[in-house]
Amino acid sequence: MTRRSTARRAGVTQRWSRLAALALSAVAMALIEAMVVYYLRKLFALQFDTRVTQKDFHFPQAYLHYEQVREAATIVVLLAVAFLSARTWLERLGAFLFAFGVWDIFYYVWLEVLLRWPPSPGTRDLLFLMPGEWFAPVWQPLLVSCGCVAAGVWLLLRRPAK
């Protein structure tokens, strides 16, 4: 085996290891986010009150600023992890897209585990609160997140230009 093939194999292993570490951090961050939603649903009595639907719900103004700051902090954490895990700006973009996509997909996985929610991909959800309330069926952010994962993997595993 030549030095070049050994170095190439080590580079490929390093890239896959980076993806695994990014995925692990994103899955853990998604669990934290889902736990916050679990507690917010309990606080706002949405868990068991069948009279309140997602369509009727608007985030309480008294808590809105705090939740917007928490959402911004989540994005900052994802950006910081991406920055630390890559060397070039293009790789950092790839790392962020990958981590964001995995985080969002697993956020819904954890909501299913914790709350048995959403009942279907067509269920309307409150996606973000910045700059205002964003509502959409669950399948839409999942589709975008799959695209982010694919783009991130492509940016992180592609061969650099020579």
Residue 118: Cβ-neighbour burial (10 angstroms; 0-12, 13-18, 19+): middle
Residue 124 DSSP SS3? strand
E-state strands within 108-160 = 124-128, 134-137
CA distances (Å), origin 72, targets 65, 85, 137: 11, 20, 22
Q: What is the pLDDT of residue 1?
A: 63
Tokens of 42: 């309990």
Q: What is the pLDDT of residue 91?
A: 94
Structure pTM?
0.85
DSSP secondary-structure letter at 122?
A: T
CA distances (Å), origin 96, targets 38, 54, 120, 149: 25, 29, 28, 9
Q: What is the pLDDT of residue 128?
A: 86
Q: What is the pLDDT of residue 51?
A: 46
Q: What is the pLDDT of residue 97?
A: 98
Tell me the domain boundaries of the chain.
Answer: 3-157
71 residue type, one letter: E
**Which residues have C-beta within 8 Å of that of residue 77, sequence separation ≥ 6?**
29
Q: What is the pLDDT of residue 3?
A: 67
The per-type count for the chain, helices as H runs and strands as E runs, is: 4, 2
Q: Could you tell me the mean pLDDT of each successive run of 10 residues in the chain, 162 residues long?
A: 63 84 97 92 63 60 87 96 95 97 97 92 88 90 98 88 50
Q: What is the pLDDT of residue 4?
A: 65
